[in-house]
Structure formats: structure tokens, C-alpha cells
Amino acid sequence: MGKRIIPQRRGHGGHVYRAPSHRYVTDFTLPNIEDTWGVVEDIIHDPARTAPLAVVRMHGGGKLYLLAHAGMYVGQKVEFGKNARIRPGNVLPIGYIPEGVPIYNIEAVPGDGGKFARSAGTYGQIVTHGEMTTVQLPSGEFKMLDPKCRAIIGIVAGAGRKEKPLVKAGKVVHAWRSKARKPVKVRGVAMNAVNHPHGGGNHQHVGRPSTVSRHAPPGRKVGRLSPKKKKRKR
């Protein structure tokens, strides 16, 4: 009797593939507040993300978490709202941020808390303003966003994270465990036929068309998923 393939096991959500959310600090999003400020109280590590979090004590009481930018320090003042100054760490609508300024944790729609440029060392840039604001994302893609979408000024802290070698396999295991991922990956063609659709045979080969339908059952959904049809040039 063979095993279920890895996509099936991940979809089922067993203990190996379940993210340890009990160790995560918070489900971080930008707060819906305007014309106020706070002071950075501490900078902490969160296993859920590659960048550190800043604990901000608000002027009116209470605290919240922000993604730390490169160069953030304890005691730094952080401002919120369209009247905030153009300084790293401040949160403004992108319509009020000058062109060429690096930004991160950018909202896709106003009020969603931030979706783009959240991993360590990443940032986007304001390109042009108009009815919609054009933002260049870390991937190089240009995206048209509502000027009311908010973002944090600066570059996400933690750049250079990948430059330090992990050195040994045990550290790789612990690094991936916090993300609920397996540290090793076995090729399907190297498995037995009962364990994977690409397995078996007298030599390692797929042995059938590698493209599968998006409506295929989980045990068959491996390889290249239904490539989009190219538009015919007129």
C-alpha cells in the first residue's frame, strides 16, 4: 500500500504540515487609525515572518505591531495619517507619498492592512500619481492602486538574511518547521508507482503527459497545472 502524495498530505493538514500558529506573535495588519502617533517600545522576532516586528506604544494608550524598517530603533516616533511627515516608519496613504520614495507593506485595496512587500529586505516604489497611483512592486511589476491605499515608508528590515549560510542540515529543518514546510523534497520520478503519478518504470521518467487539469483530484494534481491558452495574434 502506497503513501498519499505530498500535495494531498498538505491539503489534509496533518501535524507535520500545520503551521505552529501558537508560537506566532500576531496576525499583523496596518491599523485603521488617522492623525496620531506612537513610540517604538521594542523590536522583536516573530517566527511567522522573515522580518522583525516593532512594538509601538500609542500616544492615546494601547500598543500595536508594525513591520520594522531598516534602521528603526527603540524610542523612534511613528506617525499615522495623511499629515504624517515623509520619514521611514511613518504610515501614509500612497497618494500623499512623493514619487521615488521606497515603501513597504502596501495595501491592495484601502483598509486591507497591507499585502505587498512584506518580506525581509523588500520594498516598492511610487512611480506616478493620477486618478490611480502606479507602484513598482519588488518583482518589478507595475501595479495601479487606489491613492487611499496605505503603506509604510522605508525598506523592510532583515535584508541579507539569506547571505549567512545555514551550514548544517539540522538548522534547515528548524528553519522550515516554523513555516510548516518539509526541509527536503523528493522528485516524483524517483518514487514508486504506488506513491506518485510520475513514479515507477525501468528508468526515471514521467511516462505520461505532465500537464493536468485544474479540476483533477488531489492525488493526480502534480506536474504542470493546466497552462493558460495563448491568445491568437491577429
Distance of CA 165 to the CA centre of its chain: 22
Low-confidence ranges of the chain (pLDDT < 50): none
What's the pLDDT score for residue 40? Answer: 96
Which among 66, 30, 67, 25 has a CA at the least distance from the CA of 48?
25
pLDDT digits (tens, 9 = 90+) for 79-97: 999 999 999 999 999 999 9
Under 8 Å between Cβ of 49 and 119: yes
What's the pLDDT score for residue 182? Answer: 83
Under 8 Å between Cβ of 192 and 2: yes
Residue with cell 518539509: 182
The pTM for the full model equals 0.81
What's the pLDDT score for residue 227? Answer: 67
Under 8 Å between Cβ of 5 and 17: no
Task: Say if strands 102-104 and 124-128 run parallel, antiparallel, or are unpaired.
Answer: antiparallel
What's the pLDDT score for residue 168? Answer: 94
Tell me the C-alpha distance between 127 and 5, whole Å: 44
What's the pLDDT score for residue 16? Answer: 80
Domain locations along the chain: 22-153
Q: What percent of the chain is helix, strand and coil (3-state, nearest 5)?
A: 10, 25, 65
Task: Say if strands 211-212 and 224-225 run parallel, antiparallel, or are unpaired.
Answer: parallel
Please name the fold of domain 22-153.
SH3 type barrels. (2.30.30)
Tell me the residue type at 23: R
What's the pLDDT score for residue 199? Answer: 92
What's the pLDDT score for residue 34? Answer: 87
